[in-house]
Each structure stands twice: as structure tokens, then as C-alpha cells.
Amino acid sequence: MSAYQAIVNLSVPRVGDPNRETDLVMAGETIDMTDDMAALFLPPRKAFPMIRSVKDSGEPLPQFHPKQLSGIAINQRTGKRIGNPGVPENARPDPPGSSQVTVLEPPEASEPQPGSENAPPPEQDALDIPPRAARAAKPPARRGS
């Protein structure tokens, strides 16, 4: 068994567990595992190494964006990566102006201002909705008659 340091959060299977449960290993923690089990977290099984030897633990942990780790599939027969995560090579660029966020007013502007609760109501109040013709034609049913 050798000591390894987790570069990202991992679910490490328990050896010989009949229920096939796993243990959570947080990034930066040290774990002892066999070389066969360590191979599950290294290329060619994974696109990026997810563990490193404890000898290299003096260096800072490399930073991976989550998008780099998701959506990666490795062909078990050939050991090559299937597909590439991220934007496809032949993707069209966004049209101008479509990738911007426009804020028209701060959120506080839609909240009532101090003293506005006592202001008179606006000139036009809510309009009454006239009843449907079917309801207007029938008189309401009376109880007990």
C-alpha cells in the first residue's frame, strides 16, 4: 500500500465491503490505497490525475474547474478520452449583445420608500370585472325554498 493525496474530492470504495459502500476523501487529505485502486484515479482511466503521491504534497494543489472533470468518458478498451468537455470546436460565436447583462435599476428602487405607505392611492384604482352573462341571467339559488 502506498500513500496518496487527493487533488479533488473523491469517493473511494471500501476494500472487501459486501455493500459496496464508499468513503468520502476531501481534496488535500491523505489516503492509503493499493496501486490497483490508485490506477482508478489516474490516466488513462481519468482524463486528469485525481490523486498524487504524498512525496509531491509539498506543492500547492492544482486548481481544476468543475467543468473540466464532468462529462469526460474514457473508453475502457482503448483507454482514450471520448469527447472533449467544453465548447465544441465548430461552435458559432454569440451574436453581439447577446452575452451581456443589463441592469435597469437597483433592486431597492422597486421597494416602497419610507413615507410612501401614507401617500394617497393612484388616480385609477383597480377596475371591477363584470360578471359573465350566464351568471348574470340566473338568480342565485336560495336555501330552504
Per-residue model confidence as pLDDT tens digits over 15-59: 888 888 999 999 999 999 998 889 888 877 777 888 999 988 888
Quick one: what percent of the chain has pLDDT higher than 70?
A: 66
Runs of H (alpha helix) within 66-139:
66-69, 133-137
pLDDT at position 70 is 64
The answer to whether residue 44 is domain-embedded is yes
Q: What is the pTM (predicted TM-score) of this model?
A: 0.49
The answer to whether residue 88 is domain-embedded is no
The answer to whether residue 139 is domain-embedded is no
The answer to whether residue 23 is domain-embedded is yes
pLDDT at position 31 is 92
Which three cell numbers mark 104?
435597469
How many domains does the structure of the chain reveal? 1
The per-residue pLDDT for range 77-105, each reduced to its tens digit, is 877 777 665 666 787 887 887 777 676 77
Q: Are 27 and 9 in contact (CB under 8 A)?
A: yes
pLDDT at position 3 is 92
The better pLDDT of the pair 140, 11 is held by 11
Q: Are 85 and 72 in contact (CB under 8 A)?
A: yes
Q: By residue range, what is the domain housing residue 67?
A: 2-82
| Mean pLDDT value across the chain | 77
Cis peptide before 112 (omega within 30 of 0): no
The answer to whether residue 116 is domain-embedded is no
The answer to whether residue 135 is domain-embedded is no
The answer to whether residue 105 is domain-embedded is no
The answer to whether residue 107 is domain-embedded is no
pLDDT at position 91 is 78
